[in-house]
Amino acid sequence: MKALSDTHICIIGTGLMGASLALALRGKVRHLHGIDPDPSAAPCFDTFSSQLHSLYNADVIVLAAPIHVILDLLPQVGAFAAAGALITDLGSVKAPIIAAMEGLPPRVQAVGGHPMCGKELSGAAAAEATLYQGCTFALCKAERTSQTALAFMESLIYAVGGQPLHLAAAVHDQAVAHISHLPYLLSVALMLDAAAAADETFWQLASSGFRDTSRLASSDVTMMGDVVTGNRAALLQALADYRAQIERLQTLLAAEDDSALRAALETARQARQAWLLYRERRKA
């Protein structure tokens, strides 16, 4: 494949993730082309279109859309893509996307991607050139994926400030069910519970703790609805594991076993501190 600086990159889907990727790649590639029915992200790109066939001369095609849209687009993108083009994506559930990539024409390359970054805001107006800096960027290969394609994706990830992590799609989906998709549903459940029980006093008292733990409930419903249904089996297991932890805490609280309860709280505190330390070491 060409060097990153000589590539024509087409990003399909120019909301938060797609537009932020374009901003992060400006000045680092030969040409940036965006495709989206909504032209609001056009200033982030060199050229922009609403027509899928305009990707025909792209060296790299990035699908930055909800999962069901990525799955619908893959056959169409494969039909328009030039020989030797690399097709990748930013979807947060990898197994169904990797399976669909196996059906692409032999003339194109494909590799699944998922950057572990984002925010509860959506749309091009929320895009940031620094969104990918410091993020872990998962790469999941298909059977068709070449080492050249993986090496190119690593160069792209480093260029936007990320850290590549190679892993199997099933391993990825199980992990993100626990550390990404489950937190979203917990935030949703918290917000539903508060809304059902709340009177004005609730909202008067709600402060930073409630704000922080309910933040993910503000995420785009179209995108997150795809995520939770697309990773259904792994997420059901994550919910079961979480329920067991809640029941344990409930039992300790009901039994007035304050010593064991405090020990559980301390274990959780130490686990979080260890995770924060791990993050700092990775950045160093």
Q: How far apart are CA 233 and CA 101, in angstroms?
A: 21
For residue 1, the model assigns a pLDDT of: 83
For residue 79, the model assigns a pLDDT of: 96
For residue 121, the model assigns a pLDDT of: 78
Q: What is the mean pLDDT of the chain?
A: 95
Least confident stretch, 56-65, 179-188, 192-201: 192-201
Over residues 51-105, the pLDDT tens digits come to 999 998 999 999 999 999 999 999 999 999 999 999 999 999 999 999 999 999 9
For residue 152, the model assigns a pLDDT of: 98
Domain boundaries of the chain, sorted by first residue: 4-167, 172-283
How confident is the model over 200-218, as a mean pLDDT? Answer: 93
| Crossing angle of helices 221-230 and 67-80, rounded to 10° | 90
User: Of residues 270 and 199, which shows the higher confidence score?
Assistant: 270
Whether 19 contacts 38, CB under 8 Å: no
**Does the pLDDT value for residue 183 go beyond 90?**
yes
How confident is the model over 254-258, as a mean pLDDT? Answer: 97
Q: What is the band of 200 on the pLDDT scale with cuts at 50, 70, 90?
A: confident
Over residues 1-47, the pLDDT tens digits come to 899 999 999 999 999 999 999 999 999 999 999 999 999 999 999 99
Task: Let me know if domain 172-283 sits in CATH 1.10.3660.10.
Answer: yes
For residue 279, the model assigns a pLDDT of: 86
**Does the pLDDT value for residue 162 go beyond 90?**
yes
For residue 23, the model assigns a pLDDT of: 98
CB crowding 182-221: b at 16 or more within 10 Å, else e: bebbbbbeebeeeeeeeeeeeeeeeeeeeeeebebbebbe
Give the CATH class of 4-167: alpha beta
pTM: 0.92
For residue 31, the model assigns a pLDDT of: 98
Q: What is the band of 223 on the pLDDT scale with cuts at 50, 70, 90?
A: confident
For residue 207, the model assigns a pLDDT of: 96
**Does the pLDDT value for residue 122 go beyond 90?**
no
Q: What is the band of 283 on the pLDDT scale with cuts at 50, 70, 90?
A: confident
